[in-house]
Amino acid sequence: MQSFDVILRNAHVNGAYVCDIGIKHGLISSLGVNLVASENTQIIECEHAIVTPGGIDGHVHLAQDKSPRAREAGYQCADTIETGTRSAVAGGTTTVLLFAEQSRGESVLEKVDAYHQLATYQGSHADYGFHIIITDPTPKVLEQELPVLARQGISSMKLFLTYKHMRISDKDFLRALHKARELGMVALVHAENGDLVDFFTEQLESQGLTDPVYKAIAHPAAAEAEATNRAVTFSSVMDTPLLIVHVSVPESTEVIRKAQSHLKPVFAETCPQYLLLGKSQLAQEHFCGAKFICSPPLRSDPNDVEAIWRGIINGTFTIFSSDHCPYSFTGPHGKQLGLSRADNGNPNGMFTKTPNGLPGVETRVPLLFSEGVLRRRCIDIKRFVELTSENPAKLYGLYPKKGAIQVGSDADLVIWHKSFTPRRLQHDRDLHDGCDYSPYEGIEFLNWPKMTLLRGRVVFRDGQIVNSSKYGEFVPRKGCTLPLSRKMVGSWDVLYAAS
């Protein structure tokens, strides 16, 4: 007879059917009714609570402040790997994909090693993997280092089409995609036209228009749409899967939708800030608008937000990630770096000197559940699970180990009780990150995870982190398993692509 370490009794699995979930050695080992407990089995009575797979956040920046540029500018990420993953599990996310950033001239392998060491040293509450950010795709990086990383289970790279110190030329972009194709890696692209953004930024600066609110003007929608179009075209030429990250405007959403309807290998990500926040927040007094500075910026037109919601509903967006990139508001290494005093003593905000990014790893999953499933009722639990867990698992080569409630999968689970009393978010009372604010403070949450399990262990319960032990491990990943329509399976050559 099967024995279980843990049984979740009467779980409403993905809101679809009720059964018991039996767990052994951290894996789901049985789904059935009246599973038999032994004397040592821990019973968690779900009372028909909805149970969903642990969230997978494919876009999290933690401790990403070691680059020469970040040091020079004085930026410091408000979260370590320890505090950021603590916050993740408290919001129902059990796996995070972090960024190991290569600065120009650096070895990518060494960077990844340094992040491995940091994660081991600090400890992690969630399972984790790494994307590599490539800013300098030299022949050594492409030919020698990437194959080693792919073998180590790092199956994704992020490329930037903006930022002076990070962006790559179109030719290097093509080279990187070519290599990604050969190694079965997914390319993530920050799609904004850097020259367009620089031009608008310089124009604004020359007129003294530097307060946080001008951030939104410096990054026009056209900059995102143009770069998205270019990235989609290149991915099509290279026949390589590509994800446009943090999509924020209808113009780029439409480019992506059209490419997808032509069966191009293009996936897209959006984030809570582009559904729930807007440009008006950048205008908050006393430099508080800086709390909302991120790239791409928040958009103002409610139609923009509706277009992003439509992409959530109609499948244009493959995944929903946080882009958690926290900088404290009050400390000296965060948002205050963008504040100086004019000669007359008046505060002078400078969006170009303010670190870009918002915290959100803990609120991502509860926000989509609360706003999408419960308040707007525009998505069902199946689509919620796809966006927050199943599709990130498939895109990033973790499925079905992660992203599924099925026999053999890791027992990464989130329990949502129906009796939750709605409440407005307060950062200090409710959240577990290392930042000093949340952009979602004051939003009323209609539900929040009651419990989070990582590989069968309860790590978060009733608002508290359960154990101080950090069970998170590095998870090696394989290639994308989302359905793709490839021109050719197997061999491919430049002549074929051009035809």
* Beta strand 444-445 pairing with 423-424: antiparallel
* Beta strand 6-13 pairing with 55-60: unpaired
Binding site for Zn ion (CB under 5 A): 190, 323
Euclidean distance between CA atoms 272 and 285, whole angstroms: 23
Kindly state whether residue 326 participates in binding ligand DUC, applying the rule CB under 6 A. Answer: no
Q: Which of residues 60-79 bind ligand DUC (CB under 6 A)?
A: 61
Q: Which of residues 263-282 bind ligand DUC (CB under 6 A)?
A: none
Among 325, 379, 395, 431, binds ligand DUC (CB under 6 A): 325
Kindly state whether residue 295 participates in binding ligand DUC, applying the rule CB under 6 A. Answer: yes
Query: Count of CB atoms within 10 A of residue 497's CB?
Result: 16
Beta carbon nearer to ligand DUC, 395 or 411: 395
Kindly state whether residue 321 participates in binding ligand DUC, applying the rule CB under 6 A. Answer: no
Euclidean distance between CA atoms 114 and 149, whole angstroms: 13
Among 269, 304, 323, 362, binds ligand DUC (CB under 6 A): 323
Kindly state whether residue 96 participates in binding ligand DUC, applying the rule CB under 6 A. Answer: no
Tokens 């698992």 belong to residue:
393
Selection from ligand DUC, Zn ion, none that 57 binds (CB < 5 to 8 A by kind) is none
Beta carbon nearer to Zn ion, 224 or 323: 323
CB 375 within 8 Å of CB 302: no
- How far the first Cα of the chain sits from its last, in Å, is 60
Q: How many residues bind ligand DUC (CB under 6 A)?
A: 9
Query: Count of CB atoms within 10 A of residue 196's CB?
Result: 18
Which string of DSSP letters, residue by residue, matches 35-73?
A: PPP-TTPEEEE-TT-EEEEPEEEEEE--S---SHHHHHH
Euclidean distance between CA atoms 417 and 10, whole angstroms: 12
Kindly state whether residue 364 participates in binding ligand DUC, applying the rule CB under 6 A. Answer: no
Which string of DSSP letters, residue by residue, matches 313-344?
A: HHS---EE---B----SSSTTTGGGGEEE-TT
Q: Which of residues 343-362 bind ligand DUC (CB under 6 A)?
A: 356-357
Selection from ligand DUC, Zn ion, none that 383 binds (CB < 5 to 8 A by kind) is none
Selection from Zn ion, ligand DUC, none that 356 binds (CB < 5 to 8 A by kind) is ligand DUC
Kindly state whether residue 97 participates in binding ligand DUC, applying the rule CB under 6 A. Answer: no
Beta carbon nearer to ligand DUC, 219 or 450: 219
Nearest approach, Cβ of residue 70 and Zn ion (Å): 14
Beta carbon nearer to Zn ion, 190 or 364: 190
Binding positions for ligand DUC, rule: CB under 6 A: 61, 190, 245-246, 295, 323, 325, 356-357
